[in-house]
Amino acid sequence: MIKVFVSGCYDIVHAGHVQFFSEARALGDHLTVSFASTEVLWFHKRRKSSLPDEHKRALIAALRMVDEVVVGEGLEEGIDFRKEFLRLRPQILAVTEDDKYAALKRALCAEVGAKYVVLPKTPPEFPPISTSEIVRYIRAPQEAPLRVDFAGGWLDVPRFARSGAYIVNCAVSPTVSLREWPYERNAGLGGSGAWALLMGKDSVGAELDLGVGWQDPAVISETGLCVWCSGPRPGLEFKGNGDFLRGRMALFWTGTSHDTPAVVENSRDLDAIARAGRTARDAVWGSSLEGLASAMRQSYEAQLAEGMALLAGGSGGVQPLAMKYCGGGFGGYALYLCANQADRDRLCASPGFRPIEPFVLSGR
């Protein structure tokens, strides 16, 4: 009988593990699976086990391709299963192509004359996922805010970053979830960052991978009215609850989708954007509605200089303090700032407008 041995943390058993077990079992007649004990998992990864060891043993043992389950209790990193391996003396130790402990495992195999077999990558039967990804998904919030930006956009894109410059934005409600999305899609409100957060992804990394900036996932994760320092990654200078903005913000849907990646190479006045960001930063520190309106007007002038279309100056007899497109792309939503809630409510009685409020997650 050819005995095959595999090892791993297997903290949350998923379909990728099941496929690996099946492929390993096909190498012989008997498969032993070793998983890292609760103590080992904590010692090497500083992570609590998802299940008590006896529950995890029963779960893995119930898989049809598994013949025996042992618990790795040694504290030697990478080969916590040494004691059980030497006791069982299998003919094959099967590993994946990304095995980080090849040298240690080959040496262990030599002690009992076992073959060290690297299983080649095969097309996954299911979309690949890792234990870390599952944990992040479980811990992900059920809902998330979107965001509006007042000034400093583009200075969160690493290659446009400027020392001493600022990006000012605010998380807003109504919130979104995987099941409810009460906004237009591709709207310039940071939807991709919110979606990544809800899916348990590294939302900042996901945005940077798109070649755009980090401001969307940064404020969506942090919540509140925030001032960020321009740089390659988020640096929070100030966070407030944005109470002076309550009852004063509205969104207007322009009727066309927003596309930041398509305009990232456009010519723009980064000096003007940086000046607006500084004005917005000072306004937030002073809780100045008029100061923030001034920053929005500066931002809007920079947007018009890029070729964006003029926005309607108001509706329903209301003249807003300021307005600008949300985000860096053309189209999507535009943010309107009003002097008081009565003006905001009258504005939102007109088609295309909707009220929004600052959103701060309790405890953040």
- Show which of 103, 135, 167 is a domain's final residue: 135
Residues 204 and 181 in one domain: yes
Helix (H) or strand (E) holding 23: helix 15-25
Q: Give yes or no: residues 84 and 204 share one domain.
A: no
In a domain, 310, yes or no: yes
Domain boundary at 84, 109, 135, which?
Answer: 135
CATH number of the domain residue 144 falls in: 3.30.230.120
User: What CATH code is carried by the domain that includes residue 98?
Assistant: 3.40.50.620
Q: What is the pLDDT along the chain (364 residues), one digit of tens a residue?
A: 999 999 999 988 998 899 999 999 999 999 999 999 999 998 887 778 889 999 999 999 999 999 999 999 999 989 999 999 999 999 999 999 989 999 999 999 999 999 999 998 777 777 777 777 787 888 888 999 999 999 999 999 999 999 999 999 999 999 999 999 999 999 999 998 899 899 888 767 766 666 668 999 999 999 999 999 999 999 999 999 999 999 999 999 999 998 877 787 888 999 999 999 999 999 999 999 999 999 999 999 999 999 999 999 888 899 999 999 998 888 999 999 999 999 999 999 999 999 999 999 876 5
Same domain, 322 and 189: yes
Structure tokens at 348: 């939102």
Domain holding 82, by residue range, is 3-135
Strand pairing of 225-229 and 236-240?
Answer: antiparallel
Q: Are residues 186 and 310 in the same domain?
A: yes
Tell me the per-residue pLDDT of 305-344, one tens digit each, with 9 for 90 and over: 999 999 998 888 999 999 999 988 889 999 999 999 999 9
Question: What pLDDT does 157 receive?
Answer: 92
Query: Distances from the Cα of 340 to the Cαs of 148, 282, 344, 345, 347, in angstroms?
Result: 18, 21, 6, 9, 11
Domain count for the chain, please give it.
2
Give the pTM.
0.73
Domain check: are 129 and 192 in the same one? no
Evaluate whether 12 touches 135 at the Cβ level (below 8 Å).
yes
Residues 145, 290, single domain; the answer is: yes
| Same-domain pairing of 150 and 130 | no
